[in-house]
Structure 1
């Protein structure tokens, strides 16, 4: 609460405070990944966060596994199972509002019915859970009315909701180190709106929060997602082969919180590399607040999921919002590996560090390291965007598996 007082000295104090706050936002670059399986840690609480399709997925996980997840932070998404297993409904009712959609009350009853059938956890678990929501006034990808429904849905079920909808933000994860201007909606969909929305979110979820770190002490684990996917084939459910987890040094010995962070469409590792993990501003808080950050990865699938979104409308399975939804189970298996120690993938012998190859994008394609489409070059295997396909544009990539190339 701001107190009114005489001018002059208070204005000077506020100016110094704002300057200090601005200077305290320091980017601590995400470390290079270390290949390793997920390990068990002493976890005191588990929360989930996400943006756009990752926001819808975060809500699904929180609702279906409310015994496991104790709160959620969501940028720009709608109420639980708004899409009703229909792409048309997802696009025209749960992003735009051209078509009618289920009301929050109808979706609340649907959730109760599913809880009674055992396909999601008891609805009563949501009562009192902290939920932090965000929607910007320049966001035309998901209409504010849809995001409002999510707030109503959670409040009606007893959650402790904080809803920030006054910022001029576009459709993005909002971070004080985001490379995008506040109001834009463009790659990599991480915008800076002048404040610290990530800190606001974590404060609501955790109650207290230490200042973010200016440098990182932990390590970024790169693990095989296939080990946690039902059936063992991540690509079959539009998930990437690789997932990531940032583990602060303090969590190797003591108790820590766990935050699952879900990227949005186009933000998966195969498209923008480590940008989401680097710019989301979660690792900086993880280091000073004893918090592991799990970064599961969706991926693009031609025809059904070309944008690399999480399944919130049924493109991969009609069970997508339920406990037995394949992507849902995969993420929960990862959480279980960190909290309870299983499942654990088989160990593999160490491999030599792959060498980075720098060449023109034309040379990469002729050598079989990349391919091109519509004038753009993509790394083979990962499909990471390398830029224009010509002899003048160069990129540096390395082979991490047979035929699987990624940016260095």
Structure 2
């Protein structure tokens, strides 16, 4: 992913490193793209893009390009689109199909562009904390582009969205986590979960074998990146080809786990649909019945952005290397966000007018119950309490105790205020709670797999169990050990058997 090589790696990871280098140079490099010339002042290109050279302090050293329809109204939405490695803003603009829908639905586009000065392969540095955290490096440059575009085009700051492919998809997930107050929605194409990697070496693992964290662990990474007290979250679309060998399809599952947890809904879809191009859509509704997360799985599609060349309403883009003829992802993403003017950007079901309750907190837990409290909402006649996206109770008080739960299990909760007509308003920010008690579990795997799964760590080429610090032997794919989890985050050696 980057210009540097990772530190020590277990046997077999050299093949993985070579694979990433091939992807970042030969595979994506096969696009043989050439970025447009540097322009001293804002000026339209032949492709309809305008380079904007002054948009803030630009700590990430990025270039800003934009596209706006001639008849763009005030208060229109804004979409930010991030290219993949060795690509350019011009290339993404030409292939992705977003300009077609900018013209049709009326919104402005911002296309940030990085360069080899930032990364040897012109990748957005999604794996570098100094470039992907709030108010840092490239992430701050992208935020400054949003501010400039909102001022320049009169865009609605409440309807700003971001999408990206591959490394751009990884950066998209990080931007959604770092700036939930800026982006109303996002779309991650062949990308990675937010905060999956914080170094070049960790990027290898994320791409080929993403850590199998729990939904709560993934969600915690988003909550840690967001401003304290965040009460609302962006709606997220996830696009993934089942034949992707560059960013493995397991990443889509981890992304789903991450963002459904953030929304406080479960990982079982509310419904599924079959779309064109061999695409299966899985929808995860929030507590009010609006889609919060959508996962598009494209059967047989390799690594790239899904396009569907043609003049039909639901077609878009041009095919090419890593622009794959299957389905128009930009069309479906625009509709998911509500850019087509239908509904509210999530299924067409508008919530009531009451605001989301604030201050939702876990006040107590037992082995079978969770107690919650929140602040009152003016005009509320009652409150609906949801666990994992399913309503589990209604109360007129600002507190509720959920009972009959499983020992040592993590649950997600949200609350919505209900008006006198019985209409639920906006949903609160989610909280998670883990019941007390713990059921031991056994895990047999290689030392390398234990570390990537978060059960152990490596130091000096050796592996140690998390919690107990017990030595497990060499850090490689050949040494197989059994660990017993005796408490959250605590593992002990349990060879040869594990009587959990």
Pairwise same-fold verdict (TM > 0.5): no
Task: Select the structure that is richer in helix.
Answer: 1
**Larger RCO (alpha carbons 8 Å, 6+ apart):** 1
Task: Select the structure that is richer in strand.
Answer: 2
Larger radius of gyration, structure 1 or 2? 2
Q: TM-score, normalised by structure 2?
A: 0.30
